[in-house]
Amino acid sequence: MTLLKFEQNRPLDFIALGRLCIDLNANEINRPMEETRTFTKYVGGSPANIAIGMSRLGAKTGFIGRIADDQMGRFIHSYLEQNNIDTSCVVTDRSGSVTGLAFTEIKSPEECSILMYRDNVADLKLSPNDISEAYIQQAKALLISGTALAKSPSREAVFLALDYARKHRVVVFFDLDYRPYTWSSREETAIYYKLAAEKCDVMIGTREEFDLVEYFDSAAQRNDERTANKWFDYQAKIVVIKHGKNGSIAYTKDGKKYEGSIFPAKVVKTFGAGDAYASAFIYGLMQGWEIPKCMEFGSASASIVISSHSCSDAMPALQQIQEYIAQYKAEKH
Ligand SMILES: Nc1ncnc2c1ncn2[C@@H]1O[C@H](COP(=O)(O)OP(=O)(O)OP(=O)(O)O)[C@@H](O)[C@H]1O
Ligand SMILES: O=C(O)C[C@@H](O)[C@H](O)C(=O)CO
């Protein structure tokens, strides 16, 4: 059974939609942010990280989003172009908005947190008028991420993009990407996530994120198999549930279940794992690889990124992941 049908002969492989932000990662690691003094600036935002990862792997990648009319916005725009990401649908917001900032605290390799400054951010000013049907029609796949559903008009922009994607047989990936700072209630989150999830072909999220989406469906909560079957009743063909250092589980609509293991990492910080996993997993699916190979690729990419100080800068190229896997297997035998 062919789970996903990617239309061929399209100018773009992959379009990501959502936030383009800045990560400010503490340079003084293994201590609380109260004691840090300097930070390194990277492009951030989950969908941005995933798009950068896809482009590094060789996918022809575009982006739909808004950036602030300031130095940070221009920094992001340049970085996307340096990484061969099409920016024709990256709009500069001129309403006085700012760039979302994610200050990251690395108290220890396993104890990391993110302090997000997201008041009046440009990314949530994305509007339906920014969504081009002709642009989406050019792509094989579209990624949406949950945080873009948090406020209007970005919320409406996402739903319009979903309608265009379904109309033009663009495969839709939904990275749940829940960030509490941007939502006013769990009920609101669950309702809007569900409305979007019903239109998506592949869902990727942590157990906690799926529990949020299933807030009104206690039977599915905390039960991976019920979660997967719930979404197979809509458009979903693949549901991936990430479990941190315990790996990941993928369910497919044809009744199969796959358990993904991890690559032992020299962890610098844990965040970035999900975006790295998603980009490599999606890339593998678009190459027509079997699910286990896609999961292996995703896990290897995640292990590389969490062993690095950054997320976007550390997103690995194709050969880097291949060599990482080969070296791991060689050392194992
Ligand atoms: N400590 C770890 N060591 C090795 N691999 C890991 C580790 N943590 C996560 N991974 C890999 O990364 C994948 C995604 O990580 P996780 O489940 O933490 O997602 P996430 O919460 O979305 O990540 P993020 O912290 O970037 O938001 C896991 O399924 C696993 O394959
Ligand atoms: O998604 C965010 O806004 C934060 C990211 O920029 C950061 O790199 C991260 O947490 C990735 O998981």
pLDDT single digits (tens) 220-259: 788 999 999 999 999 999 999 999 999 999 999 999 999 9
Residue 178 CA to ligand 1 centre (angstroms): 14
What pLDDT shows up at residue 216?
92
Is the CB of residue 62 below 6 angstroms from any atom belonging to ligand 1? no
The pTM of this model reads 0.98
The CATH number, out of the four listed (3.40.50.620, 3.30.1330.20, 3.40.50.880, 3.40.1190.20), of the domain defined by the range 12-20+46-89+124-332: 3.40.1190.20
Pairing between β-strand 238-242 and β-strand 248-252 as defined by DSSP bridges: antiparallel
Rounded to the nearest angstrom, the gap between the alpha carbon of residue 302 and the centroid of all alpha carbons in its chain is 12
- DSSP annotation of 121 reads B
CA 20 to centroid of ligand 2, rounded, Å: 10
**Ligand 1: which of 242, 271, 296 to mutate, judged by most atoms within 8 Å of the beta carbon?**
242
The residue ranges of every structural domain in the chain are: 12-20+46-89+124-332
Instruction: Output the CA 45–ligand 2 centroid distance in Å.
Output: 5
To test the pocket of ligand 1, the residue of 42, 105, 147, 303 to mutate (highest count of ligand atoms within 8 Å of its CB) is 303
Least confident of 37-46, 212-221, 284-293, 316-325: 212-221
Distance of CA 31 to the CA centre of its chain: 27
Tokens of 232: 């197979």
Residue 257: the pLDDT is 98
Q: What is the pLDDT of residue 181?
A: 86
The two three-digit tokens of residue 55, written as one number: 């482009």
Round to whole Å and give the CA distance between 298 and 276: 7
**In whole numbers, what is the pLDDT of the chain averaged over residues?**
96
**For helices 71-82 and 46-57, what crossing angle results, to 10°?**
20
- The predicted pLDDT at position 130 comes to 98
- Which of the ligands is closest to the CA of residue 314? 2
Q: ipTM of the assembly?
A: 0.98
